[in-house]
A and B are shown apart, each in its own frame.
Chain A
Amino acid sequence: MRVSCSWLKNYVSLDGITPEELAESLTLRSQEVEGVFPLAQGENLVIGEVLSVSPHEKADKLVVCEVDVKKKRLTIICGAPNVRQGQKVAVALPGATLAHGLRIEKTEIRGVVSEGMIASLTELGIDYKYHHEDGIHVLHHTAPAGEDAMAYLFFNDTVLDLDITPNRADLLSMIGVAHDVAAIFNRDVKIPKPKIVTAKMENPLTIETETKACKSYYGRVLDDVTIGESPRWMRSRLIAAGIRPINNVVDITNYVMLETGQPLHAFDYDKVGEERVLVREAKKGETFTTLDDEERKLEEGDILITNGKEPIALGGVMGGAETEVTEETTSILLESAAFDPRRIRRTSGRLGLKSESSLRFERGIDPAMTRYALDRAAALLAVYASTSIRDGIKYFDNHENKRSPIELSLEKLNRVLGSDFDTAHVQDVLQRLSFPFEEKDGIFVVDPPSRRQDINTYQDLIEEIGRLSDYNILPATLPTTVSRGGLTDYQRFKRRTRHILADLGFDETMTYALREKERVYDLAKDKEKEPVSLSKPLSRAHQTLVLTPLHGLFDVAAHNRARKTEAIHIYEIGKCYEEEGETEMLGILMCGSYRTHRWQKHAPTSFFTLKGIIESLADALRFSPLIFTSTTIGNYHPHQCAIIKAQGEEIGHIGKVHPEYADAHDLKDVHLAEIDLEKAYELGRERSAYTPVPKHPGMQRDIALLVDESINAEAIKRTARECAGEMLAAIHVFDLYEGDKLPKGKKSLAFRLRFEDAEKTLQADTTDKLVQEIVKALEEEHGAIQR
């Protein structure tokens, strides 16, 4: 809502208050003022009369004008095609500054000295959308030459741009804003009283409704309409409010709407054709041509204004093309009505017909204003469109005007706000608001006025008193609730995960959950999962929720690789979004060398680098040991991919991305791993009691085995552990050899075994005996031959 300060003064005194102070006070106690700006810009402008127009001898497109500004005659060069002798115009004198910093000086243009400029409205800072004038602005022929042109045009005004929240429908009217200003500054509100002088001819209308969605409908008939321009003051106020002036009838309906918040509509009464208004529900499939000449398809629930036979308006949304007021109109039917806000919202939303009127109907209007607005507009039309008003107002009004009084105790008020207000303070605020109330023993019983349909509960009253007192006077305290806060064990587990990976040199990403539908299975392990898609996607790129954080991580790697980042090691805790629910997943991506020794030789990042990272994480977070079992997954390397299990349960997967898939995204050697964090947490070990450190040093033995290529290290380790029991503290592969020197189909694996005994010092012969047993078991079970 754009509020003209000079207009606002009609209803409430702004003496001693600058527009900036007004904006500040409204922001702190009512609604945010988003901007304060002058309606127009221009100083040193006078009204002039064009005495003569002659061609400029050296410039085709320019003319030389003699302009009388009363004290002086000026020679002004003008480029506008519409300048004519005898016109009254706004003349910017040398020294004037207009919109966009345009400065006017005495200048010579091709041999002729120009002593000023004839201004257009755009040059005065009035946007083209408000006037549609291409050339200079021509004033009325009665404009007094020599006088201040800005004052004549009522352009000396400041506009406040208020951001009105949806609950404050009352502030979509000048009178409503005036009430809030009056409450803030403790001033009175003056509301103009329309003077209705009616003709002898009676208002012949019968007005009825078949639907409860039309709450009230008031109609008047006016004759002898003279369509023309509305007065200058009204036009400038409409522009200040953001509405383009059209003609006196349209302007007056808009003006009264802005003043009262009650939208009005004027029909060409002759074209209505009947002396009847019947409001009814539209039928499904019915069509109606609105005044923008669009044929609209109607639905049940739309409200139609009809003449008893044909529809004449789409109630609360737009009038009909058939009954539109034109230059030829002589009689009008003036409508002031109220509709069910939800219906208007639905219809205007569906048809894309949001307007100043529909906005007000949607938010809810003041039922007490419906009749007032009709009379106010009729009275203005009588003056500014020379109409005569037929005798009588015809209407129905089914508003239930009974609103229950609201009870609020001073104790509750202070208990909610944490304030220390006394009875006198609350009385003062309620009086400023002009809310009728009674008070007894600290209990206030308030009758909310009709203009404030938003005030219905004690909380509404607390808000009114709080805001007008200014929330900033409240003390700053902390809740007295004593409670135990903190992270849950699982939340701590997640945090630890993120911190450990960061400490290991991984950067954390945060990617969009909504991605391309066709790529949703690309890096997901399970193709059976049902992804979730938006019913109306934002775009193709943001359509379906991901099944794995690896989706985003992979794209982040591609983005960064394209920007020449060499080592990309990243992770993200994201979600797998399924129809069944959401699961928190950890995704890790490695691409490029890890912990690089820049000038010494280093091993490239491999499957095992990432495997080591996962194992370290599992160890630190107590969900180790992990078992890795080869598998194949869609876009992964068919021979470098594994399922990860903890305690026999699958918790994730790891693998190298298939070189072809990586290549298609300009990447290579990308390794991915995904862990179901919720599962990993559940499978995690409890913190256990400590085991005493063995008193004696252990023994170490190395064995090299010749085995079939197909035998994996894990199988050998398992056999060794089963055979040696607790004495075998650790077993690791320290060498792998596959080559020509070995028999075909064989490989050599070397293991380092560490033996420990908690009780006594291990003897060399005991250890050797144990190793022999292990070798024997490996021979029996895997056909392994010690080398």
Chain B
Amino acid sequence: MDVKKRIDELEEELEKELEKVKTQAELLNVKSRYLGKKAEISSFMKHMRDLPKEKRPAFGQAVNEGKERFASLIEKRQAFLKRRSIEKKLAKERVDVTLDAPDFRVGSRHIINQIVEEVEDLFIGMGYTIEEGPEIETDEMNFEKLNLPKDHPARDMQDSLYITEETLLRTHTSPVQVRTMLEYGGKKPVKMICPGKAYRRDDDDATHSHQFYQIEGLVVDESTTMADLKGTLLVLAKAMFGPERKIRLRPSYFPFTEPSAEVDVSCANCAGEGCNICKNTGYIEILGAGMVNDYVLAASGYDPEKYQGFAFGVGIERIAMLRYGIEDIRNFYTNDLRFLRQFKA
């Protein structure tokens, strides 16, 4: 008998049978029939002793190789069956990837606070502290120490919300400047900004709000100049409205500063050419500023002979309105979520 030939025949048979195998059980059955103790190939070894000695090794090798080939074929089929069963299972897990995901939206911080933080970080970077103070203030802190005595004509400019004769809702955050200077005791330089709410007797409409948000700044030292004020405000204007912006100072009047100036930023809409947003002037008014009045320094414990300083104040709503083209100041306080959620920090 030609063993090699017979093994080849068996291999062919095995291949055909394996192709029909669909389950693990069938596979085991086939395996035992081709490789088990009763399998034909297992019986070949009995014939080996009938062979002459020199032929025995070749015969043995052929049988072993045959077994290995059979095992490999069975293994292949087994792997195939396993893969197919996993594929079937996964097919059942198909999803529609276009279905909606759960809502893990990050909330929006209020646009006013976003800008406040931006301004705070800008000034912290320049070595400023952030100061805060009460919103219910005394007439003394809100007006008198700021060179606004009771009969001062400039009190018309800021009609106030009084609680008693001597207390009111602060009309600006300037009393925080006074409080900080008093706290420092006139002894060391001041470099601060004070963000916060302020209140005026205004009827709410598109451009007026009885409650508003302000940031004021104050630097007091022996050689603080108006040029320093200009440079500082230029940094602020560029940070708020873009690196291309320029600023313009116009003479103005505030009882707490002298010289006083109103500060305009070049119109971002028309780049200073003139358009309806800037009323054809090329500039938009954004803040008031000046050199601290000696009266205010003295009233806050700083010797005007030695110290001088600058102060400025800016309305956050105004910055937001200009930056985003918001047309109505009431939007900030209505808190419609469809409004608030548009502003991503």
Enumerate chain A interface residues (CB-CB to B < 8 A): 27-32, 165-168, 341-342, 345-346, 362-363, 415-419, 457, 459-460, 462-463, 466-467, 471-472, 474-488, 491, 495, 498-499, 501-514, 532-536, 538, 542, 545, 552, 556, 559-560, 563, 565, 567-570, 572, 575, 577, 581-582, 595-599
Contacts and interface: CB of A to CB of B under 8 A. Distances in A.
A476 B109 contact: no
Interface residues of chain B: helix, strand, loop or mixed (majority): mixed
Contact of B258 (A462, A512, A552, A575): A462
B225 to A, nearest CB: 3
A419 B226 CA distance: 8
Q: How large is the interface on B (under 10, 10 to 19, 20 to 34, 35 or more residues)?
A: 35 or more
Contacts of A479: 191, 219, 221, 224, 228, 232
Given A486-B129, A563-B336, A459 B258 contact: yes
Interface string B102-138: 1111111110110001001001111111101011100
Nearest to B132: A491
Contact of A582 (B99, B106, B136, B338): B136
B338 A511 contact: no
B251 interface: yes
Interface of B: 99-100, 102-110, 112-113, 117, 120, 123-130, 132, 134-136, 151, 153-154, 156-157, 161-164, 169, 189, 191, 197, 199, 201, 203, 210-211, 213, 219, 221, 223-228, 230-232, 234-235, 248-253, 258-262, 291, 293-294, 308, 332-338, 340-341, 345
A166 B333 CA distance: 32
Given A32-B252, A472-B248, A570-B335, 12 more contacts: A459-B258, A471-B249, A471-B259, A471-B261, A488-B129, A504-B107, A505-B107, A510-B213, A514-B161, A533-B163, A535-B163, A582-B134
A332 to B, nearest CB: 31
B222 to A, nearest CB: 9
Residue among B125, B136, B213, B332 with the highest chain A CB neighbour number at 10 A: B136
Nearest to B290: A463
A577 B167 CA distance: 13
A346 B156 CA distance: 12
Given A168-B253, A345-B153, A559 B129 contact: no
B130 A488 contact: yes
B335 A501 contact: no
14 contacts: A166-B156, A478-B126, A478-B228, A478-B231, A480-B228, A481-B127, A481-B224, A486-B124, A487-B120, A498-B109, A505-B103, A505-B106, A508-B113, A582-B134
Contacts, number: 245
Given A483-B128, A486-B129, A507 B340 contact: yes
A27 B250 contact: yes
B48 to A, nearest CB: 58
B104 A505 contact: yes
Given A483-B189, A486-B129, A534-B162, A418 B225 contact: yes
A15 B257 CA distance: 35
Given A166-B156, A479-B224, A509 B102 contact: no
B234 A480 contact: no
Contacts of B199: 513-514
Given A165-B252, A482-B127, A511 B226 contact: no
A577 B334 contact: no
Contact of A514 (B157, B210, B308, B337): B210
Contacts of A535: 162-164
A596 B103 CA distance: 5
A499 B109 contact: yes
Contacts of B125: 485
A459 B304 CA distance: 11
Nearest to B294: A459
Contacts of A165: 252-253
A463 B260 contact: yes
A507 B251 contact: no
Nearest to A495: B117
Given A363-B153, A471-B249, A478-B228, A509 B128 contact: no
Contacts of A491: 130, 132
